[in-house]
Amino acid sequence: EAGVAQSPRYKIIEKRQSVAFWCNPISGHATLYWYQQILGQGPKLLIQFQNNGVVDDSQLPKDRFSAERLKGVDSTLKIQPAKLEDSAVYLCASSSRWGGGNTIYFGEGSWLTVV
Protein backbone atom coordinates (compact mmCIF):
# COMPACT_ATOMS: atom_id res chain seq x y z
CA GLU A 1 0.00 0.00 0.00
CA ALA A 2 1.43 3.36 -1.02
CA GLY A 3 2.04 5.83 1.78
CA VAL A 4 1.38 9.56 1.99
CA ALA A 5 3.16 11.32 -0.86
CA GLN A 6 4.47 14.87 -0.57
CA SER A 7 6.34 17.23 -2.85
CA PRO A 8 8.63 19.00 -3.09
CA ARG A 9 10.88 17.46 -0.43
CA TYR A 10 13.03 20.55 -0.10
CA LYS A 11 12.47 24.20 -0.88
CA ILE A 12 14.54 27.32 -0.21
CA ILE A 13 12.88 30.69 -0.79
CA GLU A 14 13.47 34.28 0.17
CA LYS A 15 11.21 36.00 2.65
CA ARG A 16 8.11 37.55 1.12
CA GLN A 17 8.11 34.94 -1.67
CA SER A 18 5.42 32.32 -2.00
CA VAL A 19 5.59 28.53 -1.90
CA ALA A 20 3.16 25.66 -2.36
CA PHE A 21 3.30 22.10 -1.08
CA TRP A 22 1.35 19.18 -2.44
CA CYS A 23 0.09 16.07 -0.67
CA ASN A 24 -1.57 12.88 -1.85
CA PRO A 25 -2.94 10.83 1.07
CA ILE A 26 -3.21 7.08 1.37
CA SER A 27 -5.91 5.82 -0.98
CA GLY A 28 -9.32 5.83 0.62
CA HIS A 29 -8.36 7.99 3.59
CA ALA A 30 -11.06 10.55 4.23
CA THR A 31 -9.15 12.69 6.72
CA LEU A 32 -6.11 14.75 5.76
CA TYR A 33 -3.92 16.84 8.03
CA TRP A 34 -1.20 19.43 7.56
CA TYR A 35 1.26 19.78 10.42
CA GLN A 36 4.12 22.24 10.88
CA GLN A 37 7.19 20.90 12.67
CA ILE A 38 9.85 23.41 13.71
CA LEU A 39 13.26 21.91 14.40
CA GLY A 40 13.38 20.37 17.87
CA GLN A 41 9.63 20.57 18.47
CA GLY A 42 6.65 18.30 18.06
CA PRO A 43 4.29 18.56 15.08
CA LYS A 44 1.71 21.33 15.34
CA LEU A 45 -1.62 20.92 13.54
CA LEU A 46 -2.30 23.64 10.99
CA ILE A 47 -5.43 22.35 9.29
CA GLN A 48 -7.53 19.20 9.17
CA PHE A 49 -9.88 18.15 6.36
CA GLN A 50 -12.65 15.58 6.41
CA ASN A 51 -13.15 14.75 2.73
CA ASN A 52 -13.06 18.24 1.17
CA GLY A 53 -14.40 20.12 4.19
CA VAL A 54 -12.32 21.88 6.84
CA VAL A 55 -12.95 20.58 10.37
CA ASP A 56 -10.18 22.46 12.21
CA ASP A 57 -8.03 25.37 11.06
CA SER A 58 -7.79 27.16 14.39
CA GLN A 59 -3.97 27.27 14.31
CA LEU A 60 -3.56 28.19 10.65
CA PRO A 61 -2.14 31.74 10.19
CA LYS A 62 -4.82 32.68 7.73
CA ASP A 63 -3.24 35.98 6.75
CA ARG A 64 -0.48 34.08 4.96
CA PHE A 65 -1.34 30.38 4.89
CA SER A 66 -4.06 28.75 2.83
CA ALA A 67 -4.95 25.15 2.08
CA GLU A 68 -7.44 23.38 -0.08
CA ARG A 69 -8.50 19.83 -0.75
CA LEU A 70 -10.48 19.88 -3.93
CA LYS A 71 -12.38 16.68 -4.76
CA GLY A 72 -11.54 15.27 -1.34
CA VAL A 73 -8.29 13.60 -2.37
CA ASP A 74 -5.01 15.49 -2.72
CA SER A 75 -4.31 18.78 -1.04
CA THR A 76 -2.19 21.90 -1.45
CA LEU A 77 -0.79 24.12 1.30
CA LYS A 78 0.33 27.61 0.27
CA ILE A 79 2.33 30.23 2.10
CA GLN A 80 2.29 33.79 0.80
CA PRO A 81 4.22 35.86 1.73
CA ALA A 82 6.71 33.69 3.62
CA LYS A 83 8.43 34.85 6.79
CA LEU A 84 11.69 33.66 8.33
CA GLU A 85 9.77 31.93 11.13
CA ASP A 86 7.98 29.74 8.58
CA SER A 87 11.17 27.70 8.17
CA ALA A 88 10.04 24.22 9.20
CA VAL A 89 9.07 20.80 7.94
CA TYR A 90 5.51 20.65 6.65
CA LEU A 91 4.10 17.21 7.29
CA CYS A 92 1.04 15.90 5.56
CA ALA A 93 -0.80 13.02 7.19
CA SER A 94 -3.96 11.02 6.62
CA SER A 95 -6.26 8.64 8.44
CA SER A 96 -9.14 6.48 7.33
CA ARG A 97 -11.60 8.55 9.30
CA TRP A 98 -11.70 11.43 11.74
CA GLY A 99 -10.86 11.00 15.38
CA GLY A 100 -11.83 8.27 17.79
CA GLY A 101 -8.39 6.71 18.13
CA ASN A 102 -7.68 6.35 14.43
CA THR A 103 -4.08 5.88 13.34
CA ILE A 104 -2.56 8.86 11.55
CA TYR A 105 0.04 8.11 8.89
CA PHE A 106 2.61 10.76 8.01
CA GLY A 107 4.38 11.59 4.79
CA GLU A 108 8.11 12.29 4.71
CA GLY A 109 7.54 16.03 4.83
CA SER A 110 8.46 19.09 2.83
CA TRP A 111 11.44 20.97 4.27
CA LEU A 112 11.13 24.73 3.89
CA THR A 113 13.96 27.17 4.50
CA VAL A 114 13.13 30.88 4.30
CA VAL A 115 16.18 33.14 3.94
DSSP, res 41: S
**Could you give the string, one character per residue 78-97, with x where binding to another protein holds by CB under 8 A and - elsewhere?**
-------------x------
Taking the complex as a whole, the smallest distance from the CB of residue 56 to another protein amounts, in Å, to: 7
Q: Which helix (H) or strand (E) holds 91?
A: strand 88-95
Task: By CB under 8 A, tell whether 25 contacts another protein.
Answer: no
Nearer to another protein by C-beta: 86 or 94?
94
Task: By CB under 8 A, tell whether 55 contacts another protein.
Answer: yes
CB atoms within 10 A of CB 4: 21
Q: Give yes or no for a contact between 112 and 11, defined as CB atoms under 8 angstroms apart.
A: yes
Task: By CB under 8 A, tell whether 56 contacts another protein.
Answer: yes
Q: Which one of the spans 20-28, 33-41, 66-74, 79-87 is the region binding another protein (CB under 8 A)?
A: 33-41
List b or e across 47-68, with b for residues whose CB sees 16 or more CB atoms inside 10 angstroms.
bbbbeeeeeebeebeeeebbbe
| Among 1, 27, 28, 42, contact with another protein (rule: CB under 8 A) | 42
Q: Give yes or no for a contact between 112 and 90, defined as CB atoms under 8 angstroms apart.
A: yes
Q: Which positions touch another protein (CB under 8 A)?
A: 4, 35, 40-45, 55-56, 91, 98-101, 103-109
